[in-house]
């Protein structure tokens, strides 16, 4: 089982944690590597990190969704949203603010999520029957208008393996979206350019009337991440689905 993690897991990073590792016993301190020092400097000086702290967002990733929504107008009053891999909650926070009291945001993650106003949270794997049953109960018969997913896997440092894991998560998220979205619903997912990207893109184009690529300003230039947005989920016959 993968542990789903958010690229921008927290807007306020404790510098002590970068040089300490707990291994089931005494605290072992390690000299920070050149890479970790560089990441620390970049994170602390990141304008979106500073803005998230100032404006009260859970993570800098909030600005990615804000920019995408400003262009594509996904989060309307009354929208029903499911956020996969939601922790620490930046995207759910934005969604709840945008859709208002008439909408609904349901967040799912393996990791705990500190409570957010207007967000209902289920902790667990979104593939598990027990989690899906909870989701069904929270929806109360309402169709899902939008599935959003900003998940990344825990990385191992081997580029080919990390890319495969990232694409697998995106595939799982799309399977979920195709199962739960209402007809004409939308799906926004983070993917990484590399092996498997083109096949994933082609599959999305076969299942949604329109698919566009987005690279928000808050997405770091050096990152291969992009966001694919599929709108107007297509209804396929059983025969057509069998050919997919």
Catalytic residue positions?
Answer: 190
What CA–CA distances, in Å, run from 61 to 105, 142, 217, 221? 17, 27, 10, 14
Q: Are 183 and 176 in contact (CB under 8 A)?
A: no
Q: State the DSSP H helix or E strand holding residue 189, giving kind and residue range, or none if neither.
A: strand 181-192
Per residue, the 3-state secondary structure of 29-52, as one string, reads: ECCCCHHHHHHHHHHHHCHHHHHH
Taking the C-alpha atoms of residue 92 and residue 60, their distance in angstroms, rounded to an integer, is 13
Cα 156 to Cα 226: distance, rounded to the nearest angstrom: 20
- Is residue 88 a contact partner of residue 115, using CB atoms and an 8 Å limit? no
């Amino acid at each position: 089982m993968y542990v789903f993690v958010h690229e921008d897991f927290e807007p306020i990073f404790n510098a002590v944690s970068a040089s300490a590792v707990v291994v089931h016993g005494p605290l072992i301190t390690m000299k920070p590597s050149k890479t970790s020092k560089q990441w620390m400097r970049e994170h602390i000086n990141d304008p979106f990190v500073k803005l998230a702290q100032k404006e009260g967002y859970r993570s800098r990733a909030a600005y990615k969704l804000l920019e995408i929504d400003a262009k594509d107008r996904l989060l309307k009053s009354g929208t029903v949203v499911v956020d996969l891999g939601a922790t620490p909650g930046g995207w759910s926070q934005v969604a709840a603010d945008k859709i208002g009291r008439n909408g609904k945001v349901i967040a799912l993650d393996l990791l705990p999520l500190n409570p957010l106003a207007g967000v209902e949270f289920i902790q667990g794997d979104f593939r598990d029957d027990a989690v899906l049953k909870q989701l069904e109960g929270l929806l109360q018969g309402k169709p899902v208008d939008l599935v959003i997913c900003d998940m990344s896997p825990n990385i191992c440092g081997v580029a080919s393996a990390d890319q495969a894991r990232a694409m697998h998560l995106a595939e799982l998220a799309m399977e979920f979206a195709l199962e739960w979205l209402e007809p004409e619903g939308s799906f926004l997912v983070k993917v990484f350019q590399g092996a498997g990207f083109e096949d994933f893109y082609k599959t999305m184009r076969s299942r949604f009337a329109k698919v566009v690529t987005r690279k928000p300003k808050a997405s770091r230039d050096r990152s291969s991440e992009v966001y694919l947005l599929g709108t107007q989920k297509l209804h396929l016959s059983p025969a057509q689905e069998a050919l997919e």
